[in-house]
Structure 1
Amino acid sequence: MATTEPAEKIRGGQPSIPETEPQQKRERLPLGPLQNIHVFWLAGMSCDGCSIAVTGATNPGIEGLLLGIVPAMPKMLLHHPVLSVEAGAEFVQPFRDAVEGRLEDPYVVVFEGSVADERIAQRTGGYFSAMGMEAVSGEADHGEVKHPVPTATWLHRMAPGAAATIAIGTCATWGGVPSAEGNPTGSMSVMDALGKDYRSAFGLPVINVPGCAPIGDNFTDTVFAVLLFLQGLGPLPAFDELGRPAWLFSNTVHQGCTRAGFYEEGTFAENYGDPECLVEIGCWGPVVNCNIVQRGAINHMGGCMQAGGVCIGCTMPGFPDKFAPFYKTPPGAIVSTGLSRGVGSVVRRLRRMSNREANRETRWDALNEVPTGWGHPGSRTMMDRTIHYFYERWQQMGSRRPGRRPGEEERFWGVDRPGVQGDYLDDSVTRDVTDRNKHAGGH
């Protein structure tokens, strides 16, 4: 009796692929060394922002993948409605070949934009998003006629035979703006369109790389990891329960935000452009899974909070409805910021005291003077000395104190210490060194 591969082995310990998967699909993992792989890019209800974002990717860059110069990677043969040189029937033909199984190399489907419910448009004989034309049988007196092929139809035709289906951008991953409440198109995500039981030809559910627009490097990073798996050079990368790359979307914006320290200390921006935490002027960062702050928008630079903007939750399945109205303080922030202010006011003062202490050399403490010409740091007050005394004892509890025992440490200053002569090198030492040099020179 034939046995199947353990789901954990295929999924790298992630949520398992259902055991009902056909045996032939499991036996085809992975593909082995590839020279070429086709990437068919379908655009639904989109603004093309995802395509633009990918062109800005640098690690790896899309150019390296297209040229086949990235080590261990096959050459990507990209069929993109905007970037391809071919047009018309010549452009559409490889899509037909993929559907009919005439390609020599495997292919990946990338879908940008949400998937419209074309049944709504067909009521009036129209369509929402289409690519190419195909002949259909008309009435006898009209003969053969051609109609546009909706991209939703291409998706349903091509996804079953694809090595992987990747939804790029929030419109494709969760429905996004076109699927917002009140929309007339019935738009939905790729995952909603294909259903929870969908698996690619190699047993993979839909892979989701959200963002409006997504970080280009997040997409190429994911493609790189999946291709390594298909090449047989690595395990299937870890994805969360929604099909997002776990290594990219496990943490929240707030956890990696450069402004998070202000939140902890209870200081918040009142106006756009202020350097403090932006939660009180509409930032949803504490509850949004995204790595925009750590990775940056393009070439590891920029990003919402880096540029002074708030997080509006564009990578999340609930976007935009659950985050509207934008730029309004989230209800949860009223509670959390109030608590943060209470605790942060104490923490902030304690940290300022520790910061002042850390900005002093130990010799400055002993001499109670700072030899700077740039300003007047001031002397330590009795309160500072008392607090630091107990703080230092607590800090060094169970450890040996640096330096010699109290009273045995020698303190030297520079020769210009005010009011003190010979504190660094007294005259006797200077004369002794000079005499020895003269004596050595005489011989």
Structure 2
Amino acid sequence: MSVDQGSQHVAQGRGGAEQRPGVDEVDILWISEGMSCDGDSVAVTAAAQPAIEDVVLGLVPGLPKVNLHNKVLSPTLGGEEFLAPFRAAARGAAERPFILVIEGSIPNQNIIEGDGYWTSFGNDEQTGEPLTLNWWLDQLAPKAWAVVAVGTCATYGGIHAMAGNPTGSMGLADYLGWDYRSTAGLPVVNIPGCPVQPDNFMETLTWVLFHAAGAAPPPPLDEMLRPQWIFGRTVHEGCDRAAYYEQADFAKDYNSPKCQVKVGCWGPVVNCNVPKRGWMGGIGGCPNVGGICIGCTMPGFPDKFMPFMDEPPGGSLSSVLIKPYGAFIRRMRGITNAVVNKEPKWRHNRDALTTGYDPHYRP
């Protein structure tokens, strides 16, 4: 079954055409103890469409009441007070449905010989020993209403999963299985980015919450479990430098406003909307501010995009092929530009009217 077919199945409910009833209140259990820098939690504080504060305060009409449990944003004093809803959910005693959000890549705990762990979240109440991220995933994922991976590390492994790493890190779907389904029948929802674009995350989370409320179908995901409407186009298709590529007008250094393919930009083949959406308040985004795209939203990142400053393998061929076309187009557009940069000849202050105006209907 494809993701789209699975989404339709979830929207109809397990018994046929009947819509799954919505929930009035939901917890978001956010664990950022994956192999991570907490950059995604920090990035999300900049979201505006909607702002995370608006969701938590109930200012978005139609959403269920949201209780957010995130260590960066938590109003608790930490410790056991913060861990309480996580422990209850792990025991199967959660007060309400919960969405599990994971930040950071998942290490392979099986490759450690003897004692030790890669990363942990809280301690075992009986032994005092650290509880690994893997333990929490094993307990929480089967009980979660939905599971969301935020950032490239959580979605596909990211920096920590690159060749030569000793941790065996992977993405959340690699760990749970790409056929994983939550209690609501949803696959892992992947929202990549290093860090995640804040509005991309909040927009997707809001869609999931509307689905939880029974007010929307499941979010449409592509084969890599990314939101289709966000990652369905490439950086190049939304880049304000794309016209330079078409005209074979390439930057030779990073100070140029022209297309940066020949100085290392992977935009033509990377699925990301940042040039179109910007970063904060519609401003920023890598190529928009002179940075090359290094493919940080992609499953193959970082290995398939290194060395970052080198011209992509296909860049030399495509730029050679487009060069004669681009030169011709530039010349033709230059001629047309010169023509349309001149005013029509009838705009003058002489006695005769020379616009060609002919009131032939007059006697």
Decide: shared fold, TM above 0.5. yes
Larger radius of gyration: 1
Counterpart-to-counterpart distance in 2, 1:183 and 1:290: 26
Aligned-pair distance for 1:248? 0.2
Which residue is 1:397 aligned to?
A: none
Q: Distance in 1 between matches of 2:15 and 2:128?
A: 36
Aligned AA for 1:355?
Answer: N
Q: Give the structure 1 partner of residue 98 of structure 2.
A: 107
Give 1:308's aligned residue: 290
Native 8 Å contact 2:7 2:217 kept in 1? no
Q: Deviations over 1:241-280 (max 9, x none)?
A: 1110000000000011100000000110001120100000
Partner in structure 2 of residue 82 of structure 1: 72
Q: Aligned-pair distance for 1:103?
A: 2.5
The aligned counterpart of 1:253 is 235
Equivalent residue number for residue 367 of structure 1 = none
Indicate yes or no: 2:217 matched with 1:235: yes
Give the letter aligned to residue 50 of structure 1. Answer: D
Matched, 1:37 2:32: no
Q: CA deviation at 1:228?
A: 1.2
- Pairing 1:382-397 to 2, within 5 Å after superposition: none
Task: Judge conservation of contact 2:7–2:218 (CA < 8 Å) in 1.
Answer: no
The TM-score normalised by the length of structure 1 is 0.75
CA positional deviation for 1:180: 0.5
Aligned-residue Cα RMSD (Å) equals 2.2
Could you say if the C-alpha distance between residues 423 and 115 of structure 1 is closer, same or farther in structure 2, counting changes exceeding 3 Å? same
Question: How many matched pairs?
Answer: 349
CA contact (8 A) 1:167 1:207 kept: yes
- Once the two structures are TM-superposed, the CA of residue 151 in structure 1 deviates from its matched residue by 1.5
Give unmatched runs, 5+ long, in structure 1.
Answer: 1-6, 137-144, 365-410, 415-419, 425-443
> Is residue 312–residue 323 contact of structure 1 (8 Å, CA) maintained in 2?
yes
Alpha-carbon distance in 1 for matches of 2:158, 2:190 = 13
> What amino acid is aligned across from residue 182 of structure 2 in structure 1?
S
CA contact (8 A) 1:413 1:423 kept: no
**Residue 259 of structure 2: aligned partner:** 277
Alpha-carbon distance between aligned partners in 2 of 1:65 and 1:17, rounded to the nearest angstrom:
24
SS state of the match for residue 306, structure 1? helix
SS in 2 for 1:158: helix
Residue matched to 1:187? 169
**Amino acid in the other structure paired with 1:319:** F
- Change in Cα spacing, 1:59 to 1:412, as seen in structure 2 (3 Å) is closer
- Over the matched positions of the two proteins, sequence identity in percent amounts to 45
Q: Which stretches of structure 1, 4 residues or more, deviate above 6 A after TM superposition?
A: 23-28
2:348 aligns with: 413
Compute the displacement of 1:53 (Å).
1.0
Match of 1:72 in 2: 62
Aligned with 1:353: secondary structure?
helix
C-alpha displacement at 1:33, in angstroms?
Answer: 4.7
Cα distance 1:55–1:311, how it changes in 2: closer, same or farther (>3 A)?
same
Paired residues for 1:358-437 under 5 Å: 358-361=340-343, 363-364=344-345, 411=346, 413-414=348-349, 420=350, 422-423=351-352
In structure 2, relative to structure 1, the CA distance for the partners of 1:158 and 1:333 (3 Å cut) is same
1:153 pairs with 135, 155, 161, which one?
Answer: 135
CA contact (8 A) 1:41 1:79 kept: yes
Q: 1:201 to 1:63 in 2, by over 3 A?
A: same
Q: Equivalences for 1:167-206 in 2 at 5 Å?
A: 167-206=149-188
- In the aligned structure 1, how far is the partner of 2:68 from the partner of 2:23? 19
Report 1 or 2 for greater relative contact order, CA contacts < 8 Å, sequence distance ≥ 6. 2
Give me the TM-score of the superposition, normalised by structure 2: 0.91
Contact persistence 2:145–2:182 (CA under 8 A)? yes
